[in-house]
Structure 1
Amino acid sequence: MTEARGSADPNGETHARYSPGTPCWVSLMVHGLAATQDFYGQLFGWEFQPGPQQLGPYVRALLDGREVAGIGQLPPDRHLPIAWTPYLASDDVDQTAETVRLCGGTLGVGPLDAAEAGRLAICSDPSGAVFGVWQATAHLGTGITGVPGTPAWNELLTFESANVAKFYKTVFGYEEKPVVSADFDYVTLHVGGRPVAGIHGVGNALPRDRGPHWMTYFEVADTDEALARLVELGGHVLMPTQDSAHGRVASVADPEGARFSLIQSPR
């Protein structure tokens, strides 16, 4: 993770419509929907309400009544990697999906309508990392950020940043800011001059069982306390807590193996 995001407002930042290319939602597809709701409900204080059912049973996670993430249930015969997937905003999901295909990406699902909420596609970039595209109508996306229990950052872990950054720049029109370092391969993606996501080239350090993938960071009040609670709830620690320029960070997995990170931003 790079680019400081600044101190969070204690009341969070509320969001209206997201600019194209900005991560606007995160969603998780699992086998045990009820158990996953219980895990994240206890970890982040989320409550849940039913969402569009086009892809099967699906709930939206709420924090103080505002939507922050989605969790759906995979069909029993679908053996896909369990992973948090960021959705990138688009004004025209059909056109974005076609650009993905023309630039060497793959269209996995859609484009299709999610009832009156919006229109979506699920794609993968040329390296195989999965992401979603969301064209909002009634559902604009994550309603609040900057407080514990909300998405704080999305970062692509891949083999090397340069080529895949060109793909995302062509599809979404990002401005890029590479980190110039002999031993750190990182590009920050900007929309309207604001950092919205990162691409981290880690070479052979990628987990062999996952390959390139997006990682969502969730804000917590205290990383060490959240880590202890996560373990009690059946989660797993992938990288113990460490201090960084952007806060106190740990990489973890939920009981079904979905990887994500916890971050306690500097106060």
Structure 2
Amino acid sequence: MEIDSYQPGTPCWVDLSSPDPAAAERFYARLFGWTVVSAGEGSGGYRLCEVRDRVVAGIGPLRQEGVPAAWSTYVAVSDADATARAVRDAGGEVHVEPTDVMDEGRMAVFADPAGAVVAAWQPGRMPGAGLVDEPGALCWNELATRDPDRAREFYAAVFGWQAQAREIDGMTYTTWQLGDRVVGGMIAMGDDWPPEVPPHWSVCFAVRNCDAAAEEVRALGGAVLHGPVDIEPGRFAAVGDPQGAGFAVLSLRT
């Protein structure tokens, strides 16, 4: 589905911070068929990933030495500065103060009270991903946290989300609602999660065939962490790239 604008409060962009952006470019171009191009002079080596000539994600160098490779979720906002104030008022921590990204938009990076990191994107020339819910494009964003009650309060205050819990496959799963639209999900991290895994936001990309994508991840030097398994929306696998950044792939049901 092609998208040219996002309602504030909607996840709109994802990017990868990698210790080896060139290697990441090769991996994801092979896995998803992305065309990867430079974001231009002054972008600090940031790369834009495209499907059918529409941007779907970004790849850049690590923002800080010593941190692991990771995918980040950006949520569309109308005012990044006001969002940063709302984050502080709700008990979160601003990691990167609102700053202009050339004329593309204005961004801020923060952590919720449990420590999960997420970013805000105030669009300028670029609204966000131009394609979603198609092979090679973003199809889901999900929070994993050990304090879902606090998360409900925080994200309601910052993005206006309402949490809707329901039973799926014998477990309680929470979806984030923006008005009458579902914009993401949340799972509670129980005792089965390793204690060293911090609360985090994860990203999921649509693929045509989940099993084939998982095998390709292995062949390209990545790892399959869970699955493939059948879930309500389709067939799912949690994987990692060769630099250790985790993400998921999902072949969506029609």
TM beyond 0.5 = yes
Deviations 1:134-161 (A, max 9, x none): 0001001000112100010000011132
Partner Cα distance (1:93, 1:245) in 2: 34
Residue number in structure 2 paired with 1:73: 61
Residue number in structure 2 paired with 1:6: none
| Contiguous gaps of at least 5 residues in structure 2 | none
- Using structure 1 for the length normalisation, give the TM-score: 0.90
Residue number in structure 1 paired with 2:125: 138
Partner Cα distance (1:54, 1:28) in 2: 18
Residue number in structure 2 paired with 1:40: 28
Give the CA RMSD over aligned residues: 1.7
Residue number in structure 2 paired with 1:205: 192
Q: Which SS does the other structure have where 1:205 is aligned?
A: coil
Residue number in structure 2 paired with 1:188: 175
8 A contact 1:206–1:212 mirrored in 2: no
Residue identity over aligned pairs, in percent, reads 38
Tell me which of 118, 137, 143 is aligned to 1:156.
143
8 A contact 1:159–1:204 mirrored in 2: no
Aligned residues: 253
- CA gap of 1:121–1:64, structure 2 versus 1, over 3 A, is same
Q: Which amino acid aligns with 2:108?
A: A
Deviations 1:206-242 (A, max 9, x none): 3433310111111000001111111000010110211
Runs ≥4 residues deviating over 6 A: 52-55
Q: Which SS does the other structure have where 1:203 is aligned?
A: coil
- CA gap of 1:124–1:53, structure 2 versus 1, over 3 A, is farther
8 A contact 1:33–1:73 mirrored in 2: yes
Tell me which of 216, 227, 240 is aligned to 1:253.
240
- CA gap of 1:52–1:80, structure 2 versus 1, over 3 A, is farther
Partner Cα distance (2:210, 2:36) in 1: 23
Tell me which of 39, 64, 70 is aligned to 1:51.
39
Partner Cα distance (2:44, 2:173) in 1: 36
Tell me which of 26, 51, 63 is aligned to 2:51.
63
8 A contact 2:62–2:69 mirrored in 1: no
| Contiguous gaps of at least 5 residues in structure 1 | 1-12
8 A contact 2:152–2:162 mirrored in 1: no
- CA gap of 1:198–1:138, structure 2 versus 1, over 3 A, is same
Q: Which amino acid aligns with 2:95?
A: G
Query: CA shift at 1:94, angstroms?
Result: 0.3
Residue 96 (structure 1) aligned with residue 83 (structure 2)? yes
Residue number in structure 2 paired with 1:7: none
8 A contact 1:223–1:250 mirrored in 2: yes
